[in-house]
Structure formats: C-alpha cells, structure tokens
C-alpha cells in the first residue's frame, strides 16, 4: 500500500523537498478515493473478540511498508522538455521591445552623425569668404539638420514603443514556445 503522507528518508535541499511536496500533492489530487474496509459479517468474531488461546500466540512479524516516490509526470510526445524545465518567475522582455529599442539606438546614433555633419557645414559656412560658398554650406547643413531631427524623433518613438510593448505584454513566460 502506498503511503501518501510518507516523508523523505534523509535530509535534502529545500528545492528537492519542495519538488517532492509538489509531486506528493499532485498524487494526492489524482489518487482515487481509498476504499473503506467492508464491515465483518454479523456472526464472525471481530479482531478484539478472539478467544484467549489465540491471544497468547505471537503476532505476525511486521513488514515495513516500502516508501514509494512518485515519478514526475511523463510529458506527451512533441513537448519540448527544455521549455518545461525553464519556468522561471522573472518576466522576460518580449522580442518586439528589443527590436524597437535597437531601432531607437541605431536611429539615435545615425541622427547624431547627421547632426555633427550639419554643425560642421555651419562652421564651414561661417569661414567661407564667398556668399555663394556660404549659401551652399548652409543648404547642406539645413538638409542634414532635417535628417538628424527626423532620426531623433524616430529614436524617441522607437524607445517609447519598446517601453509600451514591454508594459503591455501579458503573455506569461511559461507559455512562450508552446503550441
């Protein structure tokens, strides 16, 4: 007979003990109700009603009940074991957030380059002696400044999108990668 209230025979780590307790609770939930012993017929003697001659006999030797540890449930075919083993409580960052954050960083970096080039053209326009050369430098500086501003706006929008995607992601980490 299995004993669902049996304990571990030796001291083990808290993680192993918590795993054992969770398996025990799972077994107890799925275990069929224990059948009650049937009452003895009316005319038969009960355990305590044995004649005195039988009481003097030595009781049968006690056989220790083996402790059976239930194995973890076997996953169905096609289930990825690595996914089941990696159920961690921390929240994972969704892929969309990483993509948007990367886009924001790249847009900010390229926007910075265009901004620096624009400032260089403004400096060149100030040093130019001819009005035509100064006007050409200022036109290039204006175009690069517009590109830099668009890229900075894109970087801010992408960063805001990354934060929004992270906050709105309601899918639990254990469900990722499951069919």
CA angle 138, 145, 163 (to 5 degrees): 175
What pLDDT is attached to residue 42?
64
User: By mean pLDDT, which of 21-30, 45-54, 59-68 is the weakest?
Assistant: 45-54
The pLDDT value recorded for residue 4 is: 67
Q: What is the pLDDT of residue 1?
A: 46
pLDDT tens digits, 87-137: 555 667 788 888 999 999 999 999 999 999 999 989 988 888 888 888 998
At residue 146, does pLDDT exceed 80? yes
What is the mean pLDDT of the segment spanning 46-62? 57
| Start-to-end Cα distance in the chain | 39
Contact 173, 87 (CB under 8 A): yes
């Amino acid at each position: 007979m299995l004993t669902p209230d049996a304990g571990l025979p030796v001291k083990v780590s808290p993680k192993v003990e918590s795993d054992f307790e969770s398996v025990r609770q799972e077994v107890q939930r799925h275990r069929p109700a224990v059948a009650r012993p049937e009452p003895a017929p009316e005319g038969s003697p009960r355990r305590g009603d044995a004649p005195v001659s039988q009481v003097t006999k030595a009781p049968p030797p006690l056989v220790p009940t083996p402790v059976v540890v239930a194995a973890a449930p076997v996953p169905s075919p096609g289930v990825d074991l690595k996914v089941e083993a990696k159920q961690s409580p921390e929240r994972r960052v969704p892929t969309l957030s990483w993509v948007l954050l990367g886009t924001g960083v790249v847009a900010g970096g390229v926007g910075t380059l265009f901004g620096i080039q624009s400032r260089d053209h403004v400096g060149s326009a100030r040093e130019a002696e001819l009005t035509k050369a100064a006007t050409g430098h200022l036109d290039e500086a204006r175009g690069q400044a517009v590109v830099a501003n668009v890229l900075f706006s894109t970087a801010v929008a992408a960063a805001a999108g990354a934060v929004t995607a992270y906050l709105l992601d309601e899918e639990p980490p254990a469900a990722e990668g499951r069919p």
